[in-house]
Structure 1
Amino acid sequence: MNQQILSVLIIVISFTLFACGGSGSQTPSSPPIPSIEEPNWIAGQFSNDSVYKDLCAVPRTGPDSNGDTFLDSQGTSMHEKMWLRSWTNDTYLWFNEIDDNNPAAFSVANYFSQLKTDERTASGSFKDNFHFSQSTEDHNQRTQSGVASGYGISWEFVSSSSPRRLIVRFTEPDSPAAIAGVLRGYELKKIDNIDFVNTSDQVDIDQINAALFPSDPGQTFNFVFSDETKKDVLESTLTSQNIELQTVQNVKVIDTDIGRMGYMQFNSFIRTGQQELIDGFQQFVDQGITELVIDLRYNGGGLLAMASQVAYMVAGSAQTNNQTFETLQFNEKYPNKNPVTGDTLQPTPFYTREIDWSTNQFTNNTLPSVDLTRVFILATDNTCSASEAVINGLRGIDVEVVLIGDTTCGKPFGFYATDNCSTTYFTIQFQGVNAKDFGEYSEGFSPVTSPIFDDELPGCRAADNFTQILGNVDESLLASAISYAETGSCPIQNKPAGKVTIKAANIQGPGIAIQTPNTLLESIRILTPISEPTA
C-alpha cells in the first residue's frame, strides 16, 4: 500500500476507567483495596500469559451495555503489561523481531504500541501497519450489534495538514446526515463556525475533535459543507445518534450490452451483514445475472467466516466443492497447531451455509450462489484484509477476479480480537494462503492491463472521484467495470490522484489525524467445524 505521511500523527485514545457517585470518595465502610504485589520483569524470560490474564488495575465489576460480563480480578498495570508481553511472545507472527523492553518504563497503551516489528517490506513500508487496540465496549457494540455512534457519515480523510480535506464517501440510510441532505462528495468546511480547513488553534482543534467523534448520542454541532464547485451548499445542525450500520447498500441489477450485471456496495464483514448479503445474492439469483460487481472500496475487512461465505456465493458449489478457501499459517512455534484455539491446523473450506451468530454454529440453510467464473471487485487502498481474502480465495480456485480502482491495502494477515481489562487488542497472529499456497500480497493487489506477478490482477485503474453516488452507472469505478465487461478494455480516464488516507488518531496541533471507527474486527468461534478469526 502506497502511503505518504503529511504530518506527524499522534494517536490519543482515552478511556474512562472509573465511575463516581456523590462526592466520588470512598465511604468509611468500604473495605480497603488490598495491596497487590507487582510481577517482576526479567529480560528474555516469559511466563505463560494465563498467569497475568484478567488481573486489572481497575477491574470491571458488572455487565456492560451489551450484557457482557468479565472475569476481572484486582491486579496492577504491571500485570496488564506482563500479560501483553507473554501473549505477544507466544502468538505474534513476528515475535522474534520484538525488542524485550522493560514494561515498567511504559504506560499500558504505550507498551502495547511498541510490541510489534519495526521491519519493513521491499517497498519501504512497515511490515506491520495493523497493530492497534480499542475499547472493548466500543468493539463489541460495533461488531456484535452493528451500531456506531455518530451522524451516519463515512468520511474520506484526504489531507492531514492545511489546507485540510475531509470528504463524505456516503451516508447511512435514515441517519441524521442522510436526513439533513448530506451527499457523497460534500467537503467539510466549518464546524461551529471554526475554519476546519485552515485553523491551527488548539482550542479549535479540540472542538473539531469533539464534533467529529461525539462521545455519546445526543451531542449537537453545526456543520458547513461545500460541493465540488467549492461553494458552501449546506449548513446543518447534526445531532449524534447510535447508528445501525447497513453493511450492504445499493443492491441493483443493471442491463448491459453483454447481459444482466449485479451490483452491491458491501462495507464491512460484521455479523449483522449476513442477512443483507443473503438477500442481495438471492436477488441476483432471481434476476439471472451473468456478471457481478462487488463494491469493496471502503471495506476494511472483518470476519473470515463471512469472507468464505461471500466467495461461495460468487462461485457456487461446483467450483468450491472440497476446495480450500484459505489456510492459516502461524509463527514458527506453531507449525501444526492454532496457538489461540489449540486446534490442529485445518484448511478453511468455502462455507456454504448460513451461520447462527447467537450460537456461533452453522444452520441447515444453504446460501444462494450465482455460480460465476468471473467477478469484478471495486477497490481502493481502503480495501483490506477479509476483502482481500475474498480476492485471494477465489483466485485460488481459478475464478477470474477483475480489479477496478486502485491497489488494495495489502493485509494478508489476521488476528483473534482479545479482550483484557476493558481493552480489546489486535496483534498480527497469522497469514492466510489460498488453495495455491499464495498469500504474499503485503504490497496489495494491483489492477493492470497485462498481469505478470502474483499480486497483479487484470483490471483498470480508476479514480474514486466522488462526483456520482455509489451505484450510479456513471460513477467512475462502476463505469469502468461496465466498460471492461462490455469491451474487454479499460476506458480512457485519469489515474487515481495519489491521495493519503489517515488511518487512525485524533487531531493534534496544526495537522489533523482522524480517529475512525475500526471495521476490521471480530473474533468469532464457529463450533461446527472450526474456530474462526478475523482479518
Structure 2
Amino acid sequence: MKKSVTTGLFLSLFLIFSCSENDDFSIPDTVDPDPDAGVEVQDFMWKAMNFWYFWQSDVENLSDANFPNTPEGSVIYTEFLSSESDPGKFFDDKLLFSEDRFSFFSDDYVELTQSLAGISKSNGLMFGLVRQKANNSELYGYVQYIVPNSNASTKNIKRGDLFTGVNGTTLTDQNYISLLFGDSDSYTLNMASIVGENAEPNGNDIQLTKEVDLRENPIFLDEIIEIQDSKIGYLAYTGFTNEYDEQLNTVFGRFKSSGVNELVLDLRYNPGGSVNTAVLLSSMIYGTNSKDVFLKALYNEKYQKVLDDSDTELRRFFAEKTGKGTAINTLNLKKVYILTTTGTASASELIINGLRPYMDIVQIGETTRGKNEFSVTMVDDRGNNYIYSAERASKINSKNKWAIQPLLGRNENAEGFSNFTSGLLPDEPLQEDITNMGVLGDLKEPYLAKAIELITGSSAKGIQKVELPIETMTSSKMFTPLKDNMYVTDPPIIW
C-alpha cells in the first residue's frame, strides 16, 4: 500500500461517522472540475479537506475564495487539480498545513479500514529501530514483543533480540524501509549481539514470512500480582481495538472479583486506536459516572459553526456500558501507574490526559509522542460527506480506492487541557535498556519492577542502572496502515 511519508512519528485519531443517506447535514456545494480531466481523486481530496480539515483556514489552497462556483472557476479549479498528477504528492504538497505532522493518505481504503480491527499482513514481529553509536547512518532493530499465533511466534526469536541486517544487507537509514517494509513477504533477519555500545552480527539468521489477515489481540498480557497487602493488576495493552472491548471488560471483571486494588497499565508499545475503547478503558479504571466529562472535541471554524448552530453536544462522558450493552467492570481506583515510551501515542495519551482531572496518574518511563489532534477516514462518498462507513461500501466511487486521514480537531480533557504536542512528561523518568529488557510481566522487568517499588515502597530486584538506554528512531507499528491513529465508532455528533 502506498502511504505518505511525514516528518516525525505519527499519532492520529480516526473518526468513523455512522451517517445515513437521510441526514439533515451535508457539505455545501462547491465548484466541479472538467469531468474529462482525470482528476477525480484530487477533486475528492480537495473537497473533503476544504470542509473538514482542522487547519482549512490556514491553507491558502483550501480557501473558498480561490475557486468560485462558476464556469470560470471550474476552469481555474481544474487547472489547480491537474497541477500534480500524483494524488499522494497533491495531498502532501498542496493541501497540508506546514505544522501538520500526522495527516496522511492511502491508495487502498480497504486495507486501511481493516487495520482498524487489528487485521494486517504481518509476520507478527514488533520491533523498534535504533541508530548505531559507531555509525549514525547504520541501524539495528530490537524486538519489543511478538504477536501470539503469528509466524514469528513459531521461530527462535524473542523480546530483546537484536538484528542488524536483512538478507545479508546491513540496515541503514536509506534502505530500512525497502528491506523491512517493502513488497517482499519473506525475509531473513541477520541477528546480532551487543558489543560495547553497538550491535554486531552474531552469525544467526531468522527467516520470517508475512501472513495475510493476521489478527492481533491488543490484550497482550493480563495478570494479578500479590505483594504484601497489594493485589496489583498488570495489563500490557498494545492497541485500542474496539473488536476486543468485551474481552477487555472481562479482564477487568476478573481484576475486580479478585480484589485488585492497584493497577499497572503498560502502554509502552501502544500507538493508539479507538477513542470509544479509550473511554471504556478509562471507565474500567476510574468509574462509570456518566455525568463526568472525559473529553471535549474542538473542530475547524466551518464545522464548529455547524455544531454551534445545532447546539450539538461535543463532550464525551465516562461510560456505564460497553457498545454491546454489557455493564462496565470498574475498579474505582484513585491512582493508576502507566508505563510509557516515545511510542506511546494517540488514544494512549488520551487515557492519561482524560483521567488526570479525576485521579492520580503516576507515569513511568519516557515522554510520550505528543499528538492531541484526531482525524477521520475519508473516501470518495459524497452522499456521506466523504466520511467512511462500512455500511455504505457500495456507495463509494468504484473508480477511486484512495482514502485520506486528515486531522479534524483536538480533544481537551475536563479541565480544558490539550496542549501536549511535545508529549506528556513522566513522573518517574526511565528508559528501556537494550542490555536488560526483561520479560513482559516478569517482576524483574525494569519498568514493572519500578511500578511495584512505587506501589509497595520497597526496592525491587529488577531496577538496575540503565547501561545502554534505547533511543528508538521508529518502530514497525509506524509502517502499518493504522500507524498511531485513534478512531471513534459512535462520535459525539448529532447530524
| TM-score scaled by length of structure 2 | 0.76
SS in structure 1 at match of 2:153: helix
- 1:89-110 deviations in Å (ceiling 9; x for gaps): 2221122222318343222111
1:195 matched to 2:174: no
Cα pair 2:139 2:164 within 8 Å, conserved: no
Aligned to 1:177: 152
- 1:327-364 deviations in Å (ceiling 9; x for gaps): 1011123335459xx88233111122121xxxxxxx33
Question: CA distance change for structure 1 residues 384 and 522 in 2, over 3 Å: closer, same or farther?
Answer: closer
Match of 1:141 among 114, 131, 137: 114
1:479 matched to 2:460: no
Match of 2:285 among 314, 317, 329: 314
What is the CA distance between 1:189 and its match in structure 2?
A: 2.9
Aligned to 2:417: 438
What is the CA distance between 1:382 and its match in structure 2?
A: 1.2
Question: CA distance change for structure 1 residues 403 and 75 in 2, over 3 Å: closer, same or farther?
Answer: farther
SS in structure 2 at match of 1:297: coil
Work out the CA distance in 2 between the residues paired with 1:199 and 1:413.
28
What is the CA distance between 1:171 and its match in structure 2?
A: 0.5
Work out the CA distance in 2 between the residues paired with 1:298 and 1:246.
13
Aligned to 1:378: 339
* Code of the aligned partner of 1:95: Q
Aligned to 2:251: 280
SS in structure 1 at match of 2:322: strand
Q: Residues 135-534 of structure 1 correspond to what in structure 2 (within 5 A)?
A: 135-144=108-117, 146-159=118-131, 162-192=137-167, 194-197=168-171, 205=175, 212-213=180-181, 215=183, 219-228=185-194, 230=200, 232=202, 234-242=204-212, 243-317=214-288, 320-335=289-304, 337-338=306-307, 344-355=312-323, 363-396=324-357, 398-420=358-380, 421-447=400-426, 458-463=427-432, 465=434, 467-487=437-457, 493-494=465-466, 497=469, 499-502=471-474, 515-521=479-485, 523-526=487-490
* Code of the aligned partner of 2:97: T
1:111 matched to 2:90: yes
Work out the CA distance in 2 between the residues paired with 1:96 and 1:424.
22
Work out the CA distance in 1 between the residues paired with 2:42 and 2:243.
33
* Code of the aligned partner of 1:179: T
Question: CA distance change for structure 1 residues 337 and 345 in 2, over 3 Å: closer, same or farther?
Answer: farther
* Code of the aligned partner of 1:166: G
| TM-score scaled by length of structure 1 | 0.71
Structure ranking higher on relative contact order (CA contacts 8 Å, 6+ apart): 2
Work out the CA distance in 2 between the residues paired with 1:496 and 1:403.
21
* Code of the aligned partner of 1:11: V
What is the RMSD computed on CA atoms of the aligned residues?
Answer: 3.4
Work out the CA distance in 2 between the residues paired with 1:462 and 1:305.
30
Question: CA distance change for structure 1 residues 292 and 228 in 2, over 3 Å: closer, same or farther?
Answer: farther
- 1:56-78 deviations in Å (ceiling 9; x for gaps): x9xxxxxxxxxxxxxxxx87542
1:11 matched to 2:29: no
What is the CA distance between 1:436 and its match in structure 2?
A: 1.1
Cα pair 1:296 1:379 within 8 Å, conserved: yes
Aligned to 1:79: 40
Identity among equivalent pairs (%): 22
* Code of the aligned partner of 1:477: Y
Question: CA distance change for structure 1 residues 180 and 103 in 2, over 3 Å: closer, same or farther?
Answer: same
Work out the CA distance in 1 between the residues paired with 2:253 and 2:31.
49
Work out the CA distance in 1 between the residues paired with 2:290 and 2:88.
45
* Code of the aligned partner of 1:133: F
Cα pair 1:308 1:325 within 8 Å, conserved: yes
Cα pair 2:165 2:171 within 8 Å, conserved: yes
Work out the CA distance in 1 between the residues paired with 2:113 and 2:359.
34
| Runs (5+) with no aligned partner, structure 1 | 1-8, 13-46, 58-73, 119-126, 356-362, 448-457, 506-513
Higher helix share: 2
Question: CA distance change for structure 1 residues 531 and 389 in 2, over 3 Å: closer, same or farther?
Answer: farther
> Runs of 4 or more off by more than 6 Å in structure 1?
49-52, 488-492
Aligned to 2:395: none
SS in structure 2 at match of 1:366: coil
Aligned to 2:20: none
What is the CA distance between 1:295 and its match in structure 2?
A: 0.8
